[in-house]
């Protein structure tokens, strides 16, 4: 219980920072280095049910149909050489109520050494200023509606060539992490930013 409370506090703090940064047009790319990395609480192992999926494979779980369409290497790197990676996803809300998707809460990445990465606010600030097709987190999906868009992102070491993207279909209860969808990504799956992402 204590660890879940700490995780909730860290998530709230990171959300507050994300809200403060937002998609401000006044942020310069040079200011990204001044933003702190988002704290990551351990997510792997929380779910009772794990579902393995391939890229472009839709999974129907917990009032949600989820699919990763592609994984984008933006070409941007941090001062310490980490690459900015984003996701092109389709998420359909099959429930009777709207719910919120928050990349910080719903997504995480597992690296080959089993360490984890969470959403990094620096990727959002950069995307808001450089990619017109980017969707800022959090966002809502109305009942019966489908979201298709570019979200994220994550900062990966340039030498990482494979990793697993994990998604919690929490529906209308952001604390419900009883199921997780895991999608393995290889170097061949990574693409350059598409035209509709760049805008």
pLDDT of amino acid 33: 52
pLDDT-derived band at 12, boundaries 50, 70, 90: very low
Q: Is residue 173 part of a domain?
A: yes
Where is average pLDDT lowest: 3-12, 98-107, 154-163?
Answer: 3-12
Q: Is residue 89 part of a domain?
A: yes
Which sign does the torsion angle of CA 21, 22, 24, 30 carry? positive
pLDDT of amino acid 113: 94
Q: Is residue 119 part of a domain?
A: yes
Q: Is residue 31 part of a domain?
A: no
Q: Structurally, how many domains does the chain consist of?
A: 1
Specify the pTM.
Answer: 0.83
DSSP 23: T
Task: Kindly compute the dihedral angle of the four CA atoms of residues 153, 156, 13, 7, in this order, to the nearest 10 degrees.
Answer: 110
pLDDT digits (tens, 9 = 90+) for 129-162: 999 999 999 999 999 999 999 999 999 999 999 9
Compute the mean pLDDT over every residue in the chain, rounded to the nearest whole number: 86
pLDDT digits (tens, 9 = 90+) for 160-188: 999 999 999 999 999 999 999 999 999 99
CA–CA separation, 49 vs 45, rounded Å? 9
| Domain that includes residue 74, residue range | 2-24+38-198
**Residue 14 scores a pLDDT above 60:** no
């Amino acid at each position: 219980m204590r660890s879940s409370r700490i995780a909730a506090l860290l998530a709230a703090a990171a959300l507050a920072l994300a809200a403060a940064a937002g998609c401000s047009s006044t942020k310069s790319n040079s200011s990204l280095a001044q933003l702190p990395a988002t704290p990551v609480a351990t997510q792997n192992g929380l779910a009772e049910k794990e579902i393995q999926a391939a890229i472009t494979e839709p999974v129907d779980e917990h009032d949600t149909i989820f699919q990763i369409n592609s994984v984008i290497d933006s070409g941007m790197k941090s001062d310490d050489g980490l690459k900015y990676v984003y996701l092109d996803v389709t998420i359909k809300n099959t429930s009777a109520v709207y719910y919120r998707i928050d990349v910080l809460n719903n997504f995480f990445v597992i690296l080959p050494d089993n360490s984890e990465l969470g959403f990094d606010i620096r990727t959002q600030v950069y995307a808001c200023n450089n990619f017109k097709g980017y969707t800022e987190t959090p966002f809502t999906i109305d009942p019966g509606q489908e979201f298709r868009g570019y979200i994220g992102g994550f900062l990966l070491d340039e030498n990482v060539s494979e990793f697993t993207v994990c998604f919690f279909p929490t529906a209308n209860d952001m604390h419900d992490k009883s199921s997780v969808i895991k999608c393995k990504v290889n170097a061949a799956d990574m693409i350059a930013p598409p035209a509709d992402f760049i805008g």
